[in-house]
């Protein structure tokens, strides 16, 4: 039997922008899975506040959402004793390495980033340099901690591939400086689509189809009752993402919050139609989110505790990040501080 007691844990890292309130897609697609990984991995999770300012933010709202997101992380099961939780802007090494990686990333590579094209189209009045180069900051976020895995959705795989290209280029010049990170695609149940548009991922930019973690229960009920289903004549609860995307999305959500398989869900609602199924999904989601909302509210009243969490998190993150940054500075020829 292999002795793993003294084997260091593999490192995993991820972050979410506090540009809006966390929603059901964030929870089921990412945070719920993060909480289950603390046994196996040394996990770093951060509030990506530096990334949010590529789009104009209200300063007071950004401060509030950043702390609320930390409270929600903890309420969703991310124990600060077992995970490193920190605010990105509190660890200055992110900005420093981000600038260096700008100088090792090609213009053509950044031009091909689909998320830049999408965001530039949505914010035509503010297509700033940060919006174009933020994949370099994202690469710095990752590489500072030398992680083995980066949990990403399908839409972020392109950024991890760019990070891998940067690693290959940098290491090719200076030797083995950065560890090559692998994208970690979560197992099934994670891709939650919008309730009003089941052909696109659930997003805070479409609030009528998005269920927020802190949303009042009556609003959640209303959104599920109005959820888009399908125009088929059968109106049966059956999993078929191609022909029945709306119902299949609701089944994905119901399966994720109850643990039931698609076959079990089909049997449960056999002959009952969408009018029964949609409210049932809403109630299951409400029951899942209720303890998260209650714990978040409790934590937000304890500002001293939350401050102690993000201070301790930044201290540990800075310690790890500085080791990588010093190595980079030495390799590229900067005079050591």
**201 included as an active-site residue:** yes
Q: Give Cβ neighbours of residue 159 (< 8 Å, ≥ 6 apart).
A: 113, 115, 135, 138, 139, 152
Task: Give residues with Cβ within 8 angstroms of 80, minimum separation 6.
Answer: 74, 309, 312, 313
Structure tokens at 72: 């929600």
Strands (E), the chain: 10-16, 41-47, 83-87, 149-151, 182-184
Catalytic annotation, pick one of 9, 10, 179, 201: 201
Instruction: Please state, in angstroms and rounded to a whole number, the distance separating the CA atoms of residues 246 and 196.
Output: 9
Cα(193)–Cα(241) distance, integer angstroms: 11
- Is 244 a residue of the active site? no
CA 164 to chain CA mean position, Å:
19
Residue bearing tokens 């996990």: 43
Question: Which of 208, 251, 206 is closest to 230 using CA atoms?
Answer: 251
Long-range Cβ pairs for the range 221-225 (8 Å, 24+): 221/279, 221/282, 221/283, 221/286, 223/195, 223/282, 224/195, 224/250, 224/278, 224/279, 224/281, 224/282, 224/285, 225/278, 225/279, 225/282
Distance of alpha carbon 251 from its chain centroid, rounded? 22
Tokens of 256: 């994720």
Nearest in space to 180 (alpha carbons), one of 149, 215, 219? 149
Catalytic residue among 9, 10, 179, 204: 204
Out of 32, 119, 223, 244, which one is annotated catalytic? Answer: 119
Residue count (the chain): 337
The whole-angstrom separation of Cα 325 and Cα 327 is 5
- Counting Cβ atoms within 10 Å, is residue 168 exposed (0-12), middle (13-18) or buried (19+)? exposed
Active-site positions read 119, 201, 204
């Amino acid at each position: 039997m292999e002795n793993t007691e003294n084997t260091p844990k593999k490192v995993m890292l991820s972050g979410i922008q506090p540009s809006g309130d966390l929603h059901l897609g964030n929870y089921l697609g990412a945070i719920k899975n993060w909480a289950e990984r603390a046994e196996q991995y040394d996990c770093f999770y951060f509030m990506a506040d530096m990334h949010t300012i590529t789009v104009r933010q209200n300063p007071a709202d950004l401060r509030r959402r950043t702390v609320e997101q930390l409270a929600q992380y903890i309420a969703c099961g991310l124990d600060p004793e077992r995970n490193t939780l920190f605010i990105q802007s509190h660890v200055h090494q992110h900005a420093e390495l981000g600038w260096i990686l700008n100088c090792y990333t090609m213009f053509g590579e950044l031009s091909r980033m689909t998320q830049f094209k999408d965001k530039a189209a949505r914010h035509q009045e503010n297509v700033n340099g940060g919006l174009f180069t933020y994949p370099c900051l994202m690469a710095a976020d990752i590489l500072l901690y030398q992680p083995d895995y980066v949990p990403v959705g399908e839409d972020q795989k392109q950024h991890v591939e760019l990070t891998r290209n940067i690693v290959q280029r940098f290491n090719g010049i200076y030797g083995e400086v950065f560890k090559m990170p692998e994208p970690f695609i979560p197992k099934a149940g994670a891709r939650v689509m919008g309730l009003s548009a089941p052909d696109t991922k659930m997003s805070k930019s479409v609030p009528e189809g998005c269920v927020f973690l802190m949303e009042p229960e009556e609003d959640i009920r209303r959104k599920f009752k109005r959820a888009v289903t399908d125009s088929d004549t059968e109106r049966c609860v059956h999993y078929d993402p191609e022909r029945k995307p709306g119902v299949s999305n609701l089944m994905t959500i119901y399966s994720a919050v109850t643990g039931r398989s698609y076959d079990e869900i089909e049997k449960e609602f056999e002959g009952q139609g969408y009018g029964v199924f949609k409210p049932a999904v809403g109630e299951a989601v409400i029951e899942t989110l209720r303890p998260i909302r209650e714990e978040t509210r409790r934590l937000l009243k304890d500002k001293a505790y939350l401050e102690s969490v993000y201070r301790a998190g930044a201290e540990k993150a800075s310690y790890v990040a500085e080791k990588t940054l010093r190595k980079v500075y030495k390799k590229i020829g900067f005079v050591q501080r």
